[in-house]
């Protein structure tokens, strides 16, 4: 028989359980297998009731984020071999309510995301006949890093401020706001400033920096938030010196 590795997986059924518990499964240890493969093996061969989210298996869709041995990880990019001989503890993403097994409730994030208006805002839309909004490679480069976010929410699971204060807008939403602020085609900076420069916005961040550490796409939300603090502070000084200056 091939080599096995043990997975300790959080099980929770809202109809049956008061609190989540851990269940252990044995899966074959294959060198090309990631944690997500092991979960799919369990669902196919051992226990079809195991529930978890996944889609693309290649680090693009951002659905399969879970806690692996206490670290927020994309399970499609986390190899079993790196944790041999195990056991590997697989839990739902921290700081979110658990709905079933490894599935968390993320509507709080979705609501916050739409609040920061992560789209191009134009004072006046150009008619389509006039063509697209042009941008130089340098202008693209200034926000490119922040646009890599796949909304996998690993940063929220790593952020103690979000865990402590559910009102905090959180790393990904703030980084995506900054992504549009830095976009040369966008004209919505002042609209976003009102939302972001609140206590629950950028000022809630205490720069723990773990969001940046766990980001699988190297977005650097912590950097985005600090840069935005600097911008907001400059705006504040400006509005102090020129209170009549309209937005």
Question: Interface with other proteins includes 233 (CB under 8 A)?
Answer: yes
The window from 25-33, 48-56, 82-90, 220-228 that contacts other proteins (CB under 8 A) reads 220-228
- Residue keyed to tokens 């899966």: 27
Cis, peptide link before residue 98, omega less than 30° from 0: no
Enumerate residues 45-74 that contact other proteins by CB under 8 A.
Answer: 70
- Kindly state the DSSP code that residue 92 receives in the 8-state scheme: P
Distances (CA, A) of 18 to 11, 21, 68, 130, 233: 11, 9, 23, 60, 47
Minimum Å distance from CB 175 to other proteins? 12
Residue 32 binds other proteins, judged by CB under 8 A: no
Cα 171 to the chain's mean position, in Å? 7
Q: Give, for 143, the enclosing helix (H) or strand (E).
A: helix 137-144
Task: List the one residue from 192, 209, 215, 242 that touches other proteins (CB under 8 A).
Answer: 209
Is 125 an interacting residue with respect to other proteins (CB under 8 A)?
Answer: no
Q: Which residues, other chains included, contact 146 with Cβ-Cβ below 8 Å and sequence gap of 6+? A: 175, 176, 178, 179, 182, 219, 220, 224
12 binding other proteins? (CB under 8 A): yes
In whole angstroms, how far apart are CA 23 and each of 8, 9, 54, 227? Answer: 5, 5, 20, 43
Q: Any contact of residue 23 with other proteins (CB under 8 A)?
A: no
- Determine, following the binding rule CB under 8 A, whether residue 184 of this chain makes contact with other proteins: no
Q: Which of 236, 241, 242, 244 binds other proteins (CB under 8 A)?
A: 236
Residues 81-113: b if buried by 16+ CB within 10 A, e if exposed:
eebeebbbbbbbbbbbebebbbbbebebbeebb
Nearer to other proteins, 147 or 198 (CB): 198
Is residue 165 within the footprint of other proteins (CB under 8 A)? yes
The stretch near other proteins (CB under 8 A) out of 36-44, 58-66, 119-127, 165-173 is: 165-173
Q: 171-181 and 221-241 helices cross at what angle (nearest 10)?
A: 60
Shortest Cβ 28–other proteins spacing (Å): 31
Question: CA-based Rg of the chain, rounded to a whole angstrom?
Answer: 21
Q: Which of 97, 119, 126, 133: binder of other proteins (CB under 8 A)? A: 97
Shortest distance, position 20 Cβ to other proteins, whole Å: 6
Give me the least distance between CB of 187 and other proteins, in Å please: 18
Name which of 38, 147, 155, 162 is nearest 97 in CA terms: 162
In the complex, the residues that contact other proteins under the rule CB under 8 A are 12, 14, 19-20, 70, 94-99, 104-105, 107-108, 111, 137-138, 141-142, 160-161, 163-167, 194-195, 197-199, 203, 206-210, 213, 220, 222-223, 226-227, 229-230, 232-233, 235-237, 247
């Amino acid at each position: 028989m091939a080599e096995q590795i043990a997975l300790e997986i959080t099980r929770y059924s809202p109809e049956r359980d008061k609190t989540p518990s851990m269940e252990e499964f044995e899966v074959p240890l294959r060198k090309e297998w990631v944690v997500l493969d092991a979960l799919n093996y369990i669902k196919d061969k051992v226990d079809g009731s195991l529930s978890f989210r996944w889609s693309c298996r290649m680090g693009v869709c951002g659905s399969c984020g879970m806690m692996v041995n206490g670290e927020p990880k994309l399970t499609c990019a986390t190899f079993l071999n790196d944790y041999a001989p195990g056991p590997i503890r697989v839990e739902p993403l921290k700081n979110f309510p658990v709905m079933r097994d490894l599935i968390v409730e993320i509507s709080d994030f979705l609501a916050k995301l739409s609040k920061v208006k992560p789209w191009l805002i134009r004072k006046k839309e150009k008619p389509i006949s006039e063509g697209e909004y042009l941008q130089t490679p340098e202008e693209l480069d200034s926000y490119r890093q922040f646009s890599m976010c796949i909304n996998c929410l690993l940063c929220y699971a790593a952020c103690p401020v979000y865990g402590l204060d559910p009102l905090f807008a959180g790393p990904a939403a703030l980084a995506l706001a900054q992504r549009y602020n830095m976009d040369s085609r966008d004209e919505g900076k002042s609209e976003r400033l009102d939302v972001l420069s609140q206590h629950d916005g950028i000022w809630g961040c205490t720069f723990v920096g773990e969001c940046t550490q766990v980001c699988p796409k190297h977005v650097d939300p912590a950097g985005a938030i600090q840069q935005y603090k600097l911008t907001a502070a400059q705006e504040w000084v400006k509005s102090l010196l020129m209170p009549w200056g309209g937005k």
